[in-house]
Structure 1
């Protein structure tokens, strides 16, 4: 199989999804209204509620939801062969992820920018909301811990990425001032920002930053993890326009350019896919393809984390309701294209099948390192970019994806902590909630992997929890559509499929954790499974009730929830 065929077919399928299917669901299912007053205008406060240019918001949303997951997941999952991963990413992006992301953005915007956790209280019930928040908190806990470990590992293994990683923060701060304070022309700011980022990559390639083995009693990886969490804590407290929006926007442009470079290299070099379409000779200890493929690849096909971002930050910045199509669905398209590029890089970036098998000698031996190494070889072969600079570009892409997700993830987890406090009758200070988040996430990052270097043991449970939350979010969207007497099948099909594979995977993993005597993950698995089953039962009851009740009055729904609870 030639990689060019995979690239052309895959990109065509995903883009057709945006130009055709997303137009259908935005008009017929969600009925996006250009005259609807969005929360960004109704509650504008200059901090969280900020009406935002749809392209700037797309940049924030895309980079926040993508993270390292659409690289890590597919780069691990190709061990089962390229075909299952290819089909799940392309079909999942078109029919699952786009619907989920646009739907959760629409649902939140229709309810004052409330989080999906709070909406679960309205549509599923008080008990369902409490358990929903538990699942969200645990997912964000794993997202922040996993991505910190991924970034730290890349900064150690690819020291040329250190300067562009931290230099991107300075670029974003300047861009934020240029857009919002100085009112500079957006295209000019965009070009200057992208040029600055790629200039930092050249600088980083020339001057790699290698830390000593031990710093303040910590390993280099552990030191980077601590620094990353301190940065994310500070970033989460700043107004979104100061750092979050401009960082995500300029990173989004740079990352799309990086994807363009990767695909251009694939077109020019057209390397052969050496990995099997379906791997019949998987290494010993590799779990079964079903259901593990569908939770190993979460981001890039469908991801519950996207619903948290859509309802946590993006819905509060939505300028016009129809912008949800570009921000939500096209954000999922961007992630799908990244996952597709990862599949091609990690199956065609090797000279022989034997070389590929040597890298994929065990289930978790793939990942970001395989993407950077194999993708770098494709850039070198297709565009003549030196191997070191190729690795720097791809490693920086992965780091910036993960870092922007951490920025948003810590902010969102702070919202959840405050929300849990309100349910318990305790008003939690913003600084206190941030400290709670940092303590919990660092505790998991180090507790799951000693000095942090082994924190990727969290990954299997992260993927399952992520997909489970996507199913629970789709259940809320389905209830809203049933109440409005709109077509619900496009939501129910992804809902049922993802729910079945997620719960099945949780049960399978519970047996694995028990056999390995991994009590930390076993305990988390059990809590998530119990909460999920309970919420599913409550959601099914709510759907049945919604069918019997009169259709809702959409003009009155905005006043049904207390504005003081919006998160």
Structure 2
């Protein structure tokens, strides 16, 4: 348990030290924020700092730091290191920069920000990339909760079962809520209910953290388990880094940060709202990873027990951890968590999709008519994908299978954008360039050997002897391209 406590302490200290270091490099000032200068009463609305923090936490979290961390625990306690240092040096920087760069550019979506610093071609790529990713996330976070609600209320009615099944009925209800939350002012629904669910998410993590030692479970030490404990032998690099995602760094966060960038009263709130929310998410992920490493049977140094419970689905795993560590209170929190958390990521995903398209097409969103023009097609596509899944026409796994890689590739692009911004401003660009280079190696390595990517070819599947060198070479190449662009910008400035 010593390594768990040390990692927890490092995360907390990281917020006050490295987080503040990054904040000082960016240098927030007293200029009017978009919420003050624009304030359209819909998307640009001043909100209290404590509410901004909780809404941002729930925007970026959902079930990500829970299920991703438990999946990451399959590799053993070594995942503690990635969650801790990934959060401080990569995820926190990524979330802070994506939020603050959006704030500095009138709260525009991340696609517009990347275009400003990486060129027009990248802007168009990111526009399409972001909208597809957001609609995919929103759809999955509608279909999943619909099935979970049916399973909790009446397991006999779960499953597809045609147009009028219980699942499709609940999916319709969730999509109607998504439409309302996407259309109305951000402080009308999201600003009111998100803080409540954010507190519940934190309460779940606190309950699990207290329940583990209270019920006699021992959290294994990192130094005693410095080997791959994954039952399938899946390589640590780069699969663990991709799998944990939201618990360390996630490109999805950059699509959510502009929502809060449009609601800051002062730039000086950025450290707490953006970097702070990511650290909080890292702490939540650390707790759930510890649960995954502690509660289940280890056979011959492999996490076979954890693998077995995860095969029953994410809701089953969360339910099991909660009832084991917190009893009946845990059951209530688990039911709330597995339903509310994904829903609260789904509605902001669709809202972000609306705003990304609005920024792209330059459609003002203060008008209800203009919002309807975008809400209807965006939610319409989500409905087609969602109902297609419940009716057996489309596969849930097909919709979701490419999320992990695209998510971390998006994070890589945003970090390079941050590095370019800092370089142009003659500031310490290394805080972004180093994690950007690292994530470039992670993303390309994964793409080379993951079964859903080039690993679909038998010769490349899990072929580390090919993937590792290619990933490293690609990362060096990306850094060289960044350096060339930086040098060119320096010459122009001179």
TM-score (norm 1): 0.75
In the alignment, is residue 231 of structure 1 matched against residue 177 of structure 2? Answer: yes
Match of 1:173 in 2: none
Shift of 1:401: 2.1
Pairing of 1:13-412 with structure 2 (within 5 A): 13-27=10-24, 29-33=25-29, 35-83=30-78, 85-159=79-153, 217-273=163-219, 277=225, 280=228, 282-284=230-232, 287-311=234-258, 313-350=259-296, 353=299, 357-361=304-308, 367-379=314-326, 385-386=327-328, 389-412=329-352
Aligned equivalents of 1:123, 1:346: Cα separation in 2:
40
- Stretch moving more, 136-145 or 41-50: 136-145
Asked if 2 retains the 8 angstrom alpha-carbon contact of 1:302 and 1:470, the reply is yes
- Structure 2: how far apart are the matches of 1:503 and 1:449? 33
> Contact between 1:121 and 1:128, CA under 8 Å: does it hold in 2?
yes
Higher mean C-alpha displacement, 133-142 vs 262-271: 262-271
Q: Deviations over 1:88-125 (max 9, x none)?
A: 11111111111111111111111111112112232222
1:433-512 correspondence runs (5 A): 433-445=374-386, 451=392, 455-509=396-450, 510-512=453-455
Give structure 2 stretches of 5+ with no counterpart. 459-474
In the TM superposition, residue 10 of structure 1 has moved relative to its aligned partner by 2.5
Q: Which runs of 5+ in 1 are unaligned?
A: 160-207, 380-384, 516-531, 552-567
Partner of 1:171: none
Distance 1:302 1:350 in 2: 26
Give 1:412 shift. Answer: 0.5
**1:56-97 deviations in whole A, cap 9, x for unaligned?**
1111111111111212212222222231x2111111111111
Whole-Å Cα distance in 1 between the matches of residues 117 and 143 of structure 2? 36
Distance 1:118 1:58, change over 3 A: same
CA distance, structure 2, for counterparts of residue 359 and residue 149 of structure 1 = 25
**8 Å CA contact retained: 1:310, 1:328:** yes
CA distance in 1, matches of 2:380, 2:231: 37
- Kindly provide the CA deviation profile for residues 10-38 of structure 1, in whole angstroms up to 9, marking residues without a partner as x: 221110111111112112x11122x2211
Tell me whether 1:12 sits opposite 2:6 in the alignment. Answer: no
CA RMSD, Structure 1 to Structure 2 (Å): 3.3
Report if aligned partners of 2:297, 2:306 keep a CA contact under 8 Å in 1.
no
**Residues 475 and 351 of structure 1: CA distance in aligned 2, closer, same or farther (over 3 Å):** closer
The reply to whether residue 548 of structure 1 matches residue 482 of structure 2 is no
How many Å separate the matches in 2 of 1:330 and 1:225?
33
Closer/same/farther in 2, CA of residues 245 and 352 from structure 1, 3 Å limit = same
Residue 498 of structure 1, CA deviation: 0.7
Alpha-carbon spacing, 1:282–1:303, altered in 2? closer, same or farther (3 Å): closer
| Alignment deviations for residues 222-267 of structure 1 (CA, whole Å, 9 cap, x no partner) | 4433332221122110111110111112222232233222222234
**Distance apart, 1:6 and its partner CA:** 4.5
Of 326-335 and 139-148, the range deviating more from structure 2: 139-148
Evaluate the alpha carbon distance shift between residue 132 and residue 505 of structure 1 in structure 2; reply closer, same or farther with a 3 A threshold: same
Residue 519 of structure 1 is matched in structure 2 by none
- Tell me the CA shift for residue 489 of structure 1: 0.9
Distance 2:311 2:124 in 1: 34
The Cα of 1:449 is off from its aligned counterpart by: 7.5
Question: Would you say the 8 A contact 1:291–1:505 is kept in 2?
Answer: yes
CA gap 1:113/1:246 in 2 versus in 1, 3 angstroms: same
Query: Could you tell me the TM-score, scaled by structure 2's length?
Result: 0.85
| Distance in structure 1 (CA, Å) of the matches to 2:22 and 2:133 | 28
Cα gap change, 1:450/1:76 in structure 2, threshold over 3 Å: closer, same or farther? farther
Query: How many residue pairs are counted as aligned between the two chains?
Result: 470
